[in-house]
Each structure stands twice: as C-alpha cells, then as structure tokens.
Structure 1
Amino acid sequence: MHGPPDRGSSPLSIASIVASMTTAAVGSGLMFAYSPYMLARSADAAWAPGAAVTAVAFGGLVGCVVTGPLIQRVGHARLFACSMGIVIIAAAFIASNLSVSLWILGRGLYGAAANCNFIIAQSWLNHAASNAWRGRAMSFFYMAYVLGLGCGSWLFGQIPTSGNLTPLLTIFFTALAILPIGLTRLPNPPAPARVNVDVGMAWQISPVGLIGVLASGGLSMVVQGFVPIYATTNGVAQQQVGLLMFVMQTGLLFVQYPLGILSDRMDRRRVLLITCAIILTAGTAALFASFTHMILFMLIFLVFGGAIETIYSIANAHSNDRADPGDYVPLSSTLLVAWSAAATVVPLAVTALMPVFGPKTFIGAALLVAAAYMLFTLWRLNERDPVPTAERESFELRSAQLPNAAVLTDPEARAADQSTEPTG
C-alpha cells in the first residue's frame, strides 16, 4: 500500500534504506575488484575484461529504462527484492566458473539490477525525507554507498581468489541487504512519474551540463573499470589491487567536496574547467606512473578518479540551476540515459582499441574526453552569462558510478527541494 510522504519524519526513519544499500555496496565492491582481476589473469579470452566493463554499463542502461515501468507494475518493495535476487543470480553465474560468457552475462545482469536497486532506494529516500534535511540525507546516502564500495574492494584484497569465496561473499552481503528493506515500516512511495527523454530540451537548458554528464559517463566507467585490469596485467598483487580500488572509491570524497563547495561560490563552468585541468594533469602523471612506487601511484589515481567523479556532480548541478521546476523530471531522465549511453560506448571503444594501443589506452581515452570537454566549456563560457548565486541549488555529493534517480521522485517534492534548500 502506498502512503503519503512523511514530511515530519526524522533522519532515523531512512536508516533501513541506507543500511540496505551500504551492505549491498560491500558485495558490489567485491565484484568490481574480483571480476577484472580474475578475467585479466585468465588466458581464455583477452577481450573478456573489457567486455565485462561494457556489459556492466550496458546492463545499467537497460536497468534505467525498465525500472520505472516495473515499479509501476509491482511497487518499490517487491522490485527491490527481485532486483537483489538478480544480483545474487549474477554472482552465482560467476561462482559457477563455467565459461567466460557466463561471467559477461553475470556482469550485465548485475549492471541492470544494481541500477534498479539504486533508483528504487533514492526514490524511496526522497519520498520519506523532509524538505528540511533531504539534501543532507542524500549526501550521507551517497557517502555511505561509496564507502561500502570501497570497503568491498579492500575486503577483496584480504581473501583468497582460489575457489569461489568472493562471489559467495557477494551473495551473502546481497542477501543480507534485503533484510532491512524487507522489515522497514516506511510506506511505499507512489508510482513514479512518466519518464520522458528530451535531448533537445536538455541541450537548450544547459549544453555544458548535458555534455558534462555525457563526458562523465565515459570517463568514470573507463577509469573505474579498467584500472584493476591495468594493474593486474602489470603483475600487481591482489592485496594491492584491492587497496588501489579502495583508495579510488573513498578518496573521491576528498576531491569532490572542496570543488563542489567552490562551485556554490563561483560560476560552475569555471570550476568544471579547473576540474578538467586536474584530470589532464593527473592523467598525464598516470601515463608515466610506475607500479614500483605504489603509494605515489595510488595518490595519482585518487586525484584522477576523484576529479572525474566531480565532473558528474557539478555538471548535474549546473543543469538543474538553469532548469524550471517543471523540467526537473524529464531533464533528470535525459541526463540519466545520456550518462548510461556514454558509459556503454566509451568502454566498448577502449576495449576495441586496446590491442592496438596497449594497456594505457584507457588513460589516453580519458585525457581526450577531458580535453574535448574543457574546450567545449571554454567556448560556452563566452556564450552565456553565469547563473546568479542566489538562484542555484546547493551542491550535493554524487558519484558518477551511480545513476541520478530524481526521475522517479515526486516532481512536487523535487521542486520544493530546489526552492527550500540553502545555497552555499
């Protein structure tokens, strides 16, 4: 039964949502490190590691498209349990270790189900939270989820890869994640608004925002997906691969937060230019970084990955700054699909080019995307005046690895959220 949003609820009322998704994130972090590590060490198919990255992104695109209609059909709680079940099935495919094709299929199923889970959770959280603390709740939710991913990556480095312990642990954490949501007393949110994709509208609202989200989709999936492959093929030990992924996941908070606060105080496009410059600097350093100096290598990729995540957050906020309240739902829907499409196409291109240009192809691709976006933003800077500070939404921490599920929130609550939260 659907209930009205409890605007008088306390932050403790959403604890079940945060607990479920953080627990699930630990299992996801395990597989984000385990799958590329094992596939890169396998001699069966050289294309498999890159194909697994593309499969996750394509599955995520499918999840973005089907989640809304499925929620309308069965509701948030039932679909959450079903999509967690699909994550378990995907891990079971990998645990069976029968063929590379099953690994790829498993990663694709995971991508679809993980996006579905995240969209459900964020929609539910937006529905339950009061306008007075929704922004803080969303930032805490993102941080908890990212930290869960990082803890999963770290845990991967502490357990043996022989046998199938890692996928079994993923199954365990995913099953455990069903319990808090299954036992919650929060009412189901109403069915989501109809999702409309309108690229023309998104372009008219903010070309810099739309192209930024496109760029961040390709950048994030390429760097986060190919770093463990790159490290493994260069003989980096399992424990160090897990630590590297942990540093990249959790370190982004230290890079994104100060840049986000800065974007509340000056033209966000200028902050995007600063962020692109950081990506180009760190990416160039990454080209020459040596695995023999692992601490320095990790610091470089912490900054590299963190700046890439920041593109998504600031570009998304810049688009919302220029949008009317009635455009929030179709705009968020369009940005979500744009991100997912780029996250599929760019890794696919890197996978195809890697046999020609070598294991550092993903770094070169990231540098090209960042340079192109920097030039585009420079051009747009002279075409349009900045949004006045008083008219902006406040910056929220977001991860480019996670979809923006505002398309499934109550449009009135979204509009209220934009108008009542203080600007920085």
Structure 2
Amino acid sequence: MTQPQTRAPSPFSVASIVVSMTAVALGNGVMSAYVPFVLSRSGSPSWAAGAAITAVAFGGLVGCVVAGPLIRRVGHARLFASSMALVILGALLIAIGVNPILWIIGRMLYGAAGNTNFIIAQSWLNHAASNAWRGKAMSFFYMAYVIGLGAGAFAFGQLPAEGNIAPLVTIFFTALAILPISLTRLPTPPAPARASLDIKMTWRNSPVGFIGVLASGGLSMMVQGFTPIYAAGNHVSQGDVALLMFVMQLGMLFIQFPLGALSDRMDRRVVLVFTCALIAVMAVVALFVSFANILLLMLAFAIFAGAVETVYSIANAHANDRTAPEDFVPLASTLLVAWSASATLVPLTVTLVTPVFGEKTFIYAAMAVAIAYGGFIVVRLIGRRPVPFEERENFEILSAQVPNATVITDPTAEHSDETHQPGA
C-alpha cells in the first residue's frame, strides 16, 4: 500500500503560531500599559509600579529555567494551554481590584507564562520552517509580536482605566490565543535541548556579546517598564501614555532594522558603539524635554527604545559570529539566563533607589549603562580585528523584551560549518 506523501510545511502553515502569539502580545500590550498607569495614580505605595516590572522579569527568569523540562514532560501543545491559563489567572488577580501585592503576583505569573509560550512558539517555528525561509519566518514572527505589543498599548488608550475592562480584554485575547495553536496540524517539535550554561566559554568567545546581552536585559526593562510610570506620574493623559508606548514599539522596527543591516556590512562592534551613543543622546533629550512638548518627547523615547532593542539583537549576532557551531546551545542557554537575570536585577535596583534619586532615575541609569558598555566595546576594539564577512551569521530582528531561545528550542537545526573566530 502506498504511503501518503507528507507535504513540507509552507510559510502559510506557521500562520497559526504567529496569530496565537500576536493575540498574546495584544493582551500583554494592554496590561503593560494598564498596570503601571493605574498603580501610579491609585495611591498605591511608590514602590509598587516598579516592583510589578521586576516581577515580570523574575517570572520570565523562572519561565526560561522551567520551560524546557516541562515541554519534555507534557509536550508543546499542553504546556502552551497550561501557561495561557496562568496568564488568565494573573489577569484575574488584577481584575478583582487594585491590590499591589496581588497585582505583583499576577505580573509574575504572566512573566513565567509569557516566556514559556515564547519558547514554545520559537520551537514550533524552528521545527516547521525550512532552511529556505526560516530566517524570514522568525523575523516576521518578531515583528508581528512587537506590533501586537504596541497595538495592545494603543488599545488601552481607548479603554476606561477605571474598573476591570482592561484585564478582561487581556483575558479575551489570551483565550483567543489558545485556539490557533490548539487546532494546528503542524507536527510536534522534538524536545528542546537541555540548557547547559558555560559562562567561561561565552566570555572567552565574545565578551562584547556577553556584556551586551547583560546590558540589554536591564536597558529594555528600564526603558519599556519605567517610561509609562514616569509619564503617568507627570499626569500625562491615558491616551498619550498609550500612544507613547505604541510609538516606542514602532521605534524598534525603524531603528533596529537599518542598524542591524549596517552591522552586516561593517564591524558589529562599531555599530554597537554608535548605538550606545544614540541611547545616551536620547537619554539627555528625555531628561530635558518636558511633557509640555509631548510629541518631541514621544519621538525621543521612540528612538531611545529602538536603540535599546538594537543592542540586544546585534550583541546576540556578534556572539554567534564568534562561536563554533558545536557551542551554539550552551551559548544560547548562557545568554538567555544572563538576559533574564539582568532584566530582573536592574529594575529591582532602580525601584529601590528611585525614592532617593527621583522619578528620572531610570533615564540616568540607562545612560550610565550605555556609556559603560560603549566604553567597554572601544577598549575591546583596540588591536582586535572583526570577524570576516563570509564567517558571519545573518542579522535577524530580535526583541530584548522576549527571550531568544532559537537554538535551545531546536536542537536539530542545521548550522553552518564555517569556522568562527573567538576572542572579540
């Protein structure tokens, strides 16, 4: 009897994954605007809004650690549905009324579930996509997710901040997200590789990449997380806060893509130095432009956020350039945990010192991190040649707001056999 031929997955076949995660992003965008806005204006303790940011990052760190073992235990589809249930539970904790402790727990649940779902989605995409269009599929996936975050934040501006409509909208989008993944006919991916940390190897191969991912974790959580708190604390209207968060997501696309393309044509470290300088300049602008010039401030924060996201994607690409294929999995594992740890500790520190140094602390901190990292790169540039163009990985759009686990999530993925030059 002739066996039926299995059709190779087409770009359209992964649409269910993209649609599901875009719905997740819409819900997260609503909540990312709603929680800091309400906590900043509800008479809650001054530390509450910052603690909610730290809780998301800490939950994300937990998600990065437990996602692999849980996928191996119950499979991709079941874990996706289970983690979506955690997102809904977290939103329900927020929907029952303003309670800082419950809201912090709810955001921590989201962080753990959100990172788990992102790892699941990456795994499915890597497994389903062919080598011919895998890079394009991943870039489209990231762009759809980031646009979903921005659209969700913008949608918050059209919803009443009073009451629980915003978290109910998040629950609605989260429930929708379960359907496409649950009904997909895509084959189940293999179990992800076990996360194996190797900080010594990562540092030896690419100090610039390792420190860059550490810097980007803190930078992203500061700029993306504390900006709406800063705006709400200065009595910016709900609509303008939502628009500000929307343009910050667009800034990622319009800043990261050209700088990333440029890094494919010259030494990535030089582009990173320029990016750090751009972050520092935009931080100065953000410090001295008042909310009376809201449109100019929005432009500054859009460039600010876009440059922060660019540090992550180029540093990640640079680390891969300098690493041999057999070390890709421990490299990805180490960078993933480094990003998550930084994204937890830096906003926690900023939250603790903000009462002492004021509401602009996160801007000064972002400027200091960018200047320190840029200076570190300049030191590394002296006497060390760049990786030859023919030995580089292609740049891909990534977001510092979500973990990059593309190597961990597909241990069968093919990699180039080219020799990579360590020691940048």
- Class of the TM-score when normalised by the shorter of the 2 chains: over 0.9
Report the AA paired with residue 63 of structure 1: G
Q: Does 1:313 align with 2:287?
A: no
Determine the structure 2 residue equivalent to 1:121. 121
Residues 73-126 of structure 1, C-alpha deviations (whole Å, 9 max, x = no match): 001110000001100000000001162110000001100000000010011100
Which region of structure 1 is more displaced relative to structure 2, 373-382 or 398-407? 398-407
Separation in 1, partners of 2:252, 2:197: 29
Cα displacement (A) at 1:416: 5.2
| Alignment match, 2:252 | 252
Partner of 2:422: none
Question: Unaligned regions of 5+ residues in structure 1, if any?
Answer: 1-5, 420-424
Q: Give the match's secondary structure for 2:396.
A: coil
* Residue 144 (structure 1) aligned with residue 149 (structure 2): no
Q: What letter is aligned with 1:267? A: D
SS in 1 for 2:291: coil
Q: What amino acid sits opposite 2:271 in the alignment?
A: V
Q: Match for 2:139: what amino acid?
A: S
Q: Conserved in 2, the CA contact under 8 Å of 1:56 and 1:107?
A: yes
CA distance in 1 between counterparts of 2:114 and 2:417 reads: 26
- SS, match of residue 415 in structure 2: helix
Q: Secondary structure at the match of 1:408?
A: coil
- The amino acid that maps onto 1:304 is F
Aligned-partner residue type, residue 76 of structure 2: H
**What is the alpha-carbon distance in structure 1 between the residues aligned to residue 152 and residue 288 of structure 2?**
28
Is residue 368 of structure 1 aligned with residue 368 of structure 2? yes
8 Å Cα contact 1:84/1:175 also seen in 2 = yes
1:45 deviates by 1.2
- Deviation per CA, 1:28-63: give whole Å up to 9, x if none: 000000000011112131110000010000000000
Task: Report if the CA contact (8 A) 1:7-1:129 is conserved.
Answer: no
Deviation of 1:230 (Å)? 0.1
Percent identity, please: 66
TM superposition shift of 1:414: 4.4
Indicate the residue corresponding to 1:3 in structure 2: none
How far, CA to CA, are the matches of 2:103 and 2:265 in structure 1?
Answer: 46
Which residue matches 2:293?
293
Given that residues 30 and 153 in structure 1 are in contact (C-alpha distance below 8 angstroms), is that contact kept between their aligned partners in structure 2?
A: yes
- Paired residue type of 1:402: V
CA distance in 2, matches of 1:418, 1:215: 28
For residue 195 of structure 1, report the CA deviation from its aligned partner. Answer: 1.1
1:328 matched residue in structure 2:
328
Please give the secondary structure, in 2, of the residue aligned with 1:177.
helix
After TM superposition, give the deviation of residue 250 of structure 1 in Å: 1.9
Q: Does the CA contact (< 8 Å) of 1:276 and 1:374 recur in 2? A: yes
Residue matched to 2:411? 411
**Mapping for residues 81-92 of structure 1, pairs under 5 Å:** 81-92=81-92
Aligned residues: CA RMSD: 1.3
In structure 1, C-alpha distance between the alignment counterparts of 2:123 and 2:401, rounded to whole Å: 17
Amino acid aligned to 2:306? G
Return the offset for 1:8.
Answer: 3.1
- In structure 1, give the amino acid aligned to 2:8: G
**For residues 65-144 of structure 1, what are the structure 2 equivalents within 5 Å?**
65-97=65-97, 99-144=99-144
**Aligned residue in 2 for 1:200:** 200
**Distance (whole Å) between structure 2 residues aligned to residue 7 and residue 255 of structure 1:** 38
Q: State the match for 1:422 in structure 2.
A: none
Rounded to whole Å, the distance in 2 between the matches of 1:417 and 1:90 is 44
Q: Which residue of 1 aligns with 2:304?
A: 304
CA contact (8 A) 2:97 2:163 kept: no
Distance 1:350 1:418, change over 3 A: farther
CA change 1:414–1:86 in 2 (3 A) is: farther
Rounded to whole Å, the distance in 1 between the matches of 2:299 and 2:44 is 33
Asked if 1:190 is matched to 2:199, the reply is no
The Cα shift of 1:294 comes to: 0.9
Deviation at 1:344, TM superposition (A): 0.6
Supply the distance in 2 between the matched residues of 1:99 and 1:106 (Cα, whole angstroms).
10
How many angstroms does 1:407 deviate by? 4.1
What TM-score, normalized by structure 2, do the two folds share? 0.96
**Structure 1 length-normalised TM:** 0.96
Q: Distance in 2 between matches of 1:98 and 1:152?
A: 21
1:356 counterpart residue number: 356
Deviation at 1:415, TM superposition (A): 1.4
Deviates more, 1:91-100 or 1:291-300: 91-100
Q: Structure 1, residues 250-270: CA drift from partner, whole Å, max 9, x if none?
A: 221000000000000000000
Query: Secondary structure of 1:46's partner?
Result: coil
Aligned residue identity for 2:273: L
In structure 2, the gaps of 5 or more residues are: 1-5, 420-424
User: Which deviates the most, 42-51 or 178-187?
Assistant: 42-51
- Count of residues paired in the alignment: 414
Structure 1 residues 335 and 293: CA distance shift in structure 2, 3 A: same
Counterparts in 2 of 1:259-274, with a 5 A limit?
259-274=259-274
Q: Which residue of 1 aligns with 2:25?
A: 25
Distance 2:330 2:219 in 1: 24
Q: Distance in 2 between matches of 1:411 and 1:45?
A: 46
Contact 1:220 1:308 in 2 (8 A): yes
Q: Is the 8 A contact 1:134 1:417 kept in 2?
A: no
